Amino acid sequence: AWLTPRLPTLLAEHEATALTQRRESLTALGIDDALALQVAAGDIAVAALDIAEVASGCERSLAQVADVYFALDRHLSFGWLRERAQALPADTHWDLLARTTTLDDLDRLKRALTVSVLQQAGPSVREDSADGLIERWREARHAPLERFGRMLADQRAAGATGLSMLSVATREIGMLEHAA
């Protein structure tokens, strides 16, 4: 209830646009706008559990944690990686397990990196913007982030979308958590 109405301002522009389009297609069918937003945001709103867990563990406000959580999407291309993982074929049981595991790993890493950003900021930093907190976090991880950025650019340029690409990207993201 708290997160869903805020999603259009938290999401990256293309994700907010997609959310709005899904909501509008539902309202065009006669569904109440508030319900249409809840349904359209269903796959994104599950992040509320991660946000609540991080807020409780780090003793931060839901708003600050949500800001950092979704800002990491923009900074580290989690959305693009999730899209690639969701597009993986699932012809066999093992393919489905590999895709699900990759998506779970990305969610776990996003939660862990949100904690990392907030912990690096320290308990006294409560009012800084998410982008400011992430920028300071990034400064402490310059080399691994540069390597991750090059790898991601190479993968985008090559149009790579396979499990091997996602495995490498997930590993590189995981290395950012403690890379200070």
88 in Cβ contact with 161 (< 8 Å): yes
pLDDT band per the 50, 70, 90 thresholds, residue 126: low
The number of beta carbons lying within 10 Å of the beta carbon of residue 42 is 11
pLDDT band per the 50, 70, 90 thresholds, residue 124: low
Task: Write the pLDDT tens digit of every residue in 6-57.
Answer: 888 888 888 889 999 999 999 999 999 989 998 998 888 888 899 999 999 9
> For position 36, what pLDDT does the model report?
92
Which residue has 């959310």 as its token pair? 19
**CB burial class (10 A; 0-12, 13-18, 19+) of residue 174?**
middle
Q: C-alpha 106: how far from its chain's center?
A: 8
- pTM, entire model: 0.86
Task: Write the pLDDT tens digit of every residue in 66-109.
Answer: 999 999 988 998 988 988 899 988 899 999 999 999 999 999 99
Task: Tell me the C-alpha distance between 17 and 128, whole Å.
Answer: 26
119 in Cβ contact with 150 (< 8 Å): no
From 159, 130, 156, 105, select the one nearest 12 (Cα to Cα).
130
62 in Cβ contact with 100 (< 8 Å): no
The number of beta carbons lying within 10 Å of the beta carbon of residue 117 is 25
Helices 93-121 and 78-86: angle between axes, nearest 10 degrees: 170
